[in-house]
Structure 1
Amino acid sequence: MMTLLKLNSKSPRSPWHLVDPSPWPFTTSVSLLCVVLGLTSWMNGRDWTIIIYGALLLGISVTSWFRDIVIEATFQGMHTKPVQNGLKLGFKLFLLSELMLFFSFFWAFMHSALSPSVEIGCCWPPAGLTTLSPWQDAAVNTCILLTSGASVTWSHKAVKAGIYRDSFIGLLQTIGWGCLFTYCQYQEYKVCPFTIADSVYGSCFFMLTGLHGLHVIGGSGFLVASLFRMGRRHFSTGHHLGYVFSIWYWHFVDIMWLFVWGIIYIWGSWV
């Protein structure tokens, strides 16, 4: 009887979740500060050992923080319907902020293309610069990401239908496509005929493709975490919000690549 009372005391008494005090926001902030200080020291040729400790602390903090969130949502039932609606709104605003980040670099690229300066020969692409073909590696990468979007959608539908084996296979395929995309992007960088220092074209090209590549790596990490949770039977037909967020993020990465391919590779080479 006492055990039952203890369990009931942990159940939510209101539709809103008041989180317990946690050290992880503070330790995450400290670790990010150490990483930034280490990068700054490395760029100035000084000792950058602090970046190692910052990265270790960041990994511990993020892992522990997400562990607590999984416990609250999956095992304690703290993520009620209103809480989930709030989380969805917050994630949508996060994706909107990411969109604005990409938009700023697209704006810089398109402004430079439509109004090329004297320093680059008053033409676009800049004089003396050989661009990459949009119908070779970039087209292959586009097919890879579109295929990954289809496989992760199949995986999501399988979760909602309770077919967890198919969902696991679809998610595993999506992670494989993401790793293949990252490898192909790396190979394209190796044979690229220009660098980030070659005028505003090179700067915008590598900033946009590199930023997108970092998002692919981050999205792949989210999907790996979802794969681990799926293997631990954390998801059900009506409870898989963390997986939904991973899928939203992956589709965002897919859509951003279509804009990168269309504006940077195709339109940017023909202006």
Structure 2
Amino acid sequence: MASTHTKNHDYHIIDPSPWPFLAGIGAFLMAFGGIAWMRAMNSDSFELLGFDFAQAKYWVFAIGLLIVLYVMYAWWSDTVKEAHEGHHTRVVSLHLRYGMMMFIASELMFFVAWFWAFFDASLFPGDAVQVARSEFTGGNWPPQGLEVINPFHLPLYNTIILLLSGTTLTWAHHALLHNDRKGLVWGLTVTVLLGALFSYVQFYEYQHAPFEFSGSIYGATFFMATGFHGFHVLVGTIFLLVCLFRALAGHFTPKQHFGLEAAAWYWHFVDAVWLFLFIFIYVWGSWGAPIAAH
């Protein structure tokens, strides 16, 4: 009788979990609350069932965000527990990698949208068919009278920071493969510090930018592309910080370390996107425009 319940496959049948349902609730509250919040910012109402949710402002969104963050913590904690219990077989690990690959592919298409918007505006600034665009740019790119950020000052500095962080993360990964726990911890520590330094430099750059988000299509495309990349750097830094805490707790082995591997893939993807941002938006996109004084 017991033999009928013996596991004879490489797949892991997970136990019933509340996290997908709670994640859906949290995501719905974030979307619903975000709409209500934006309506409140414009002094509009957002009535449903006789109640004006715009009066709640950001509270509905905040509740949804807290639910999503808790689900992320709890769901990934369960995944880590499953790994320690030996449920991540070769087949399960392969599918986890496929999932991460598809996630990065979706992130790539997300950035393609912002690059598309930037190139659509920059390659055809004086399109006679689109008169409104010509009025915004003066028929030139960057738009006439706009001062730009010196690409070979803070942006170049941040490029060096990210390239160094990719190197230190590779050091940490190879240290783990050779069972060098000290090298793993130091490599992750330096990578996290470099990620935090990148975010600080970008925040400083935004504070001293000679243009704003509104007022020019250059500013809108610039801040959307670089801002979302900055958000991804922040998420990646938190991802690596979690990996550092797990490494200090004795997690990861040379044969089983998908969490660190996924974080490394994500970080290298962020590095690659930044190189495209630096080359096309900072250097090529500002070519010939007056450089703002530091």
Scaled by the length of structure 2, what TM-score is found?
0.86
Output aligned runs, 1:75-154, within 5 Å: 76-116=85-125, 117-119=133-135, 120-154=137-171
Q: In 2, distance between residues paired with 1:188 and 1:14? A: 54
> Secondary structure at 2:156's aligned position in 1?
helix
Equivalent residues of 1:160, 1:237 under 8 A apart: yes
Distance (whole Å) between structure 2 residues aligned to residue 94 and residue 131 of structure 1: 34
- Give the deviation of 1:12 after TM superposition: 5.2
Query: How big is the alpha-carbon RMSD for the aligned residues of Structure 1 and Structure 2?
Result: 1.5
Secondary structure at the aligned position of 1:131 is classed as coil
1:36 to 2:52 alignment: no
What is the identity, as a one-letter code, of the residue corresponding to 1:31? G
Is the radius of gyration larger for structure 1 or structure 2?
A: 2
Q: 1:223 aligns with which of 240, 251, 261?
A: 240
Is the contact made by 1:12 and 1:78 (CA closer than 8 Å) also made in structure 2?
no
Q: Which residue of structure 1 aligns with residue 80 of structure 2?
A: 70
Structure 1, unaligned runs of 5 or more: none
**Mapping of residues 169-188 of structure 1, within 5 Å:** 169-188=186-205
Partner residue of 1:23 out of 4, 13, 18 = 18
> 1:136–1:42: structure 2 CA closer, same or farther, 3 Å change rule?
same
Range with bigger deviation, 46-55 or 224-233: 46-55
Total equivalences in the alignment: 262
Instruction: Provide the secondary structure at the position in 2 that maps to 1:44.
Output: helix
Q: Residue 243 of structure 1: which of 251, 254, 260 is its match?
A: 260
Work out the CA distance in 2 between the residues paired with 1:114 and 1:56. 42
Q: Residue 57 of structure 1 aligns with which residue?
A: 67
Partners of 1:263 and 1:206 in 2: how far apart? 14
Q: What is the identity, as a one-letter code, of the residue corresponding to 1:18?
A: I
2:227 corresponds, among 210, 221, 245, to 210
Deviation at 1:198, TM superposition (A): 2.5
In terms of fraction of residues, the more helix-rich structure is 1
Segments of structure 2 that go 5 or more residues without pairing to the other structure are 41-53, 126-132, 289-294
Structure-2 separation of matches of 1:198 and 1:124: 15
Q: Normalising by the residue count of structure 1, what TM-score does the alignment of the two structures yield?
A: 0.93
- Report % sequence identity: 40
